Structure 1
Amino acid sequence: MDLSANFWGNKYKSNKIGWDLGAISPPLKAYFDQLENKELKILIPGGGNSYEAEYLFKNGFKNVSVVDISKEPLDNLKKRVPKFPSSQLINANFFDINFTFDLIIEQTFFCAIDPILRVKYALKMNDLLNENGKLVGLLFDAKLNEDHPPFGGNKQEYLSYFKPYFKITKMESCYNSYHNRKGMELFVMLHKK
């Protein structure tokens, strides 16, 4: 299965980005709107066009980093938000980064990686979080594709990956999903153990 930088770059170049909402995801906007500490060091992995990073940055969160294996979406974010620090737009494989963060946001990255990497994802998320750090975001709660992204799953499966490394504060059906994702998402809040 080819999920390389070229694979993703070609998706952006040909505008075959059906996962891209073109705006911040409503559940994440609601979560961000209640955050008070603007000094949080935040990572959005596999961030794509990252409307979430744009929203956070424009609302005073200046310690937001986006990592993506593909350069195209990082360039797109920089065009939309010219003042976004280039040093916080990281063109790399998520599994190769080694900074630490207070908060990591999950938004269509987990469903884009090969499912055989899910245990490695949970471990890496734990490693990248500071003490008391949180992983917050959305996971698909639906059977999706088996041979190409997005890859689906369910709560029981996800718990098996995350329970060894995280206290599960919240993993429940999302009540405020974007209209075409209603009934298909779990909102998750996981605290580093």
Structure 2
Amino acid sequence: MELNKDFWEERYQAQKTGWDIGAVSEPLKVYIDSLKDTSATILIPGAGNSYEAEYLHNKGFENVDVIDIAKQPLVNFQNRVPDFPKENLIQTDFFEFSKTYDLILEQTFFCALDPVLRQEYANKMSTLLNKNGKLAGVLFDFPLTKDGPPFGGSKSEYITYFQNLFNIKTMERCYNSILPRKDTELFIIFEKE
């Protein structure tokens, strides 16, 4: 199975989006609620329907970019949040994207990538962040499987990808996951050195 643009476009067209919980995830909502600087530059890659971007927008964050390889989730988002700046909805391949940010939010993107791309993901995140920028969000914590997406993984595995690029500030079991994801999510905050 190739996890390419056509794969994701078909999933959205057929509404086969079991990962989509229909709202901002509670761990990210709590984190967003702790942010004070509404002018911070924020990226949400592989954003899908991006309820996190909607939540940020509704809280007055002005510099949020949303990227996805598929067009349909961006259309869905624009229809749902018509006053969100269209130029901040970017259809592109994450690995070909270049701009820098103060914060990148991770929500079901890492686990949707082929696991062979994990170190490349970590490297790319480092290049997309400003000095002292943060990568924050949720990673799945269940055994790595060939059947995905989502693909699992573990704290010890994740550390190997990020430890040489970031100061690992937080990597702990989420206390506020939705019930179907209880005990299967790690909340992360990695700071670029």
- Measured against the shorter chain, the TM-score band is over 0.9
- 1:16-95 alignment, distance < 5 Å: 16-95=16-95
Identity percentage over the alignment? Answer: 56
Q: Deviations over 1:40-98 (max 9, x none)?
A: 10000000000000000011001000110000000100000001111110100000011
List, as ranges, runs of 4+ consecutive aligned residues in structure 1 with deviation greater than 3 Å: none
Q: TM-score, normalised by structure 2?
A: 0.98
Q: TM-score, normalised by structure 1?
A: 0.98
What CA distance in whole angstroms lies between the structure 2 residues aligned with 1:57 and 1:96?
25
Contact kept, 8 Å, 1:40 with 1:103, in 2: the verdict is: yes
1:10 aligns with 2:2: no
For 1:166, the equivalent position in structure 2 comes to 166
What CA distance in whole angstroms lies between the structure 1 residues aligned with 2:51 and 2:144?
24
The Cα of 1:12 is off from its aligned counterpart by 0.6
Any gaps of 5 or more consecutive residues in structure 1? none
1:133 aligns with 2:123: no
What CA distance in whole angstroms lies between the structure 1 residues aligned with 2:99 and 2:158?
24
For 1:143, the equivalent position in structure 2 comes to 143
For 2:154, the equivalent position in structure 1 comes to 154
Contact kept, 8 Å, 2:106 with 2:135, in 1: the verdict is: yes
1:135 aligns to what SS in structure 2?
strand
RMSD value, Cα = 0.8
Contact kept, 8 Å, 2:141 with 2:152, in 1: the verdict is: yes
Q: Deviations over 1:3-52 (max 9, x none)?
A: 11110011011111000000000000000011100001000000000000
For 1:124, the equivalent position in structure 2 comes to 124
Contact kept, 8 Å, 1:144 with 1:150, in 2: the verdict is: no
